[in-house]
Amino acid sequence: MFDICELCEPETLAEAKALFRANPELKVIAGGTDVLIRMQHGSLAGAGLLSLRNIPHLDEIEMLPDGTISVGAMAPFTRIFEHELIRKHVPVLGEASVSMGGPQVRNVATIGGNLCNGAVSADSASTLFALDALLKLETAEGERIIPMRDFYAGPGKVNLLPGELLVAILIPREGYEGMGGHYIKFAPRKAMDIATLGVAVVCKIRENRFVELRIGLGVAAPVPVRCFEAEAYAKDREVTWECVQEIARLALKPAKARSSWRASKDYREHLIEVLAQRAVAEAVKRGGGCCAD
């Protein structure tokens, strides 16, 4: 049995926001595949839970009139991976989604929960960084939309105000349109594992030149990071193997890798360079470019 002191199951978003305002100490639970495991391990003892599972429409994936793709915070990873809009427009997010956990976990675990946990290893996070995604946050008082980059405050910490809920992830048209993308999750096992390092790349190629390149790294620093120097270097440059190698070297700049039982700092830095190279090369290929050496 879980050490739960109360379970709130609001039926509407308005009801959830009102409850959360009145009881900001409640722990929000989405799919539960992290929260309940933490409870099983003895943390969060005696917590009161605010479950979002009974709220309809919070798991929908749709394209808004301006071309933004909106992914409901309660969308489970399997749904994201299988969804037609994601397959067609943002396959790199599908790639990241299917790399997470195992099938039974992906059937229940939600993208919103994955982000709100604040884990730097979240497979969806580095990808959404690369996609320049925005987050729609709501309280009983109103809503705000913030860039992914402003969401992560530190390991396991995110910038959510008391009583605030993540409602949707917005991927603007400029974030995905015409982009080739690739996500590489590096982990000892192919399934049911946590990333030792995650590299997400999207790029737009015209006449074999980088029109735009964006790289998101997971587990390279205390929070997911973007590789702005590498991205700026690539801009308007012809795609060559040397160029891709230089991009990968520059991708190390924002990294603040640390040693943990999963990997040493040196090994992680080696991974960043090697995997950035591979991910950029594959994203270039998918974006219609060629960097054959």
Partner 1 sequence: MLTKNAAGVKARKRLCMTVNGRAVEIEIDIRESLLDVLRDRLQFTGVKQGCSVGECGACTVLLDGTPVNSCIYLAAWAHGKTVVTIEGLAQDGKLPPVQEAFVDEGAIQCGFCTPGVVLSTTAMVDSGKCFTHDEVRRELSGHLCRCTGYQKIVDAAERALREAEIAADEHPV
**Footprint of partner 1 on this chain (CB under 8 A)?**
1-11, 15, 19, 32-33, 36-37, 40-41, 51, 53, 78, 98, 101-105, 107-108, 190-192
Kindly tell me which of 102 and 156 has the beta carbon lying closer to partner 1: 102
Kindly tell me which of 1 and 292 has the beta carbon lying closer to partner 1: 1
Min dist. Cβ of residue 26 to partner 1 (A): 10
Min dist. Cβ of residue 100 to partner 1 (A): 11
Kindly tell me which of 109 and 250 has the beta carbon lying closer to partner 1: 109
Kindly tell me which of 19 and 140 has the beta carbon lying closer to partner 1: 19
Min dist. Cβ of residue 64 to partner 1 (A): 28
Min dist. Cβ of residue 213 to partner 1 (A): 29
Min dist. Cβ of residue 37 to partner 1 (A): 5
Question: Which residues contact residue 90 at a Cβ distance below 8 angstroms, ignoring those fewer than 6 apart?
Answer: 69, 131, 171, 176, 181
Min dist. Cβ of residue 192 to partner 1 (A): 6
Kindly tell me which of 9 and 282 has the beta carbon lying closer to partner 1: 9
Min dist. Cβ of residue 47 to partner 1 (A): 11
Kindly tell me which of 105 and 263 has the beta carbon lying closer to partner 1: 105
Residue 8 backbone phi and psi in degrees, to 5: -100, 130
Work out the number of other CB atoms within 10 angstroms of the CB of residue 85: 15
Kindly tell me which of 101 and 287 has the beta carbon lying closer to partner 1: 101
Three-state DSSP string of the chain: CCCEEEEECCCCHHHHHHHHHHCCCCEEECCCCCHHHHHHCCCCCCEEEEECCCCCCCCCEEECCCCCEEEECCCEHHHHHHCHHHHHHCHHHHHHHHCCCCHHHHCCCEHHHHHHCCCCCCHHHHHHHHCCCEEEEECCCCEEEEEHHHCEEECCEECCCCCCEEEEEEECHHHHCCCEEEEEEECCCCCCCCCCEEEEEEEEEECCEEEEEEEEEECCCCCCEECHHHHHHHCCCECCHHHHHHHHHHCCCCCCCCCCCCCCHHHHHHHHHHHHHHHHHHHHHHCCCCCCC
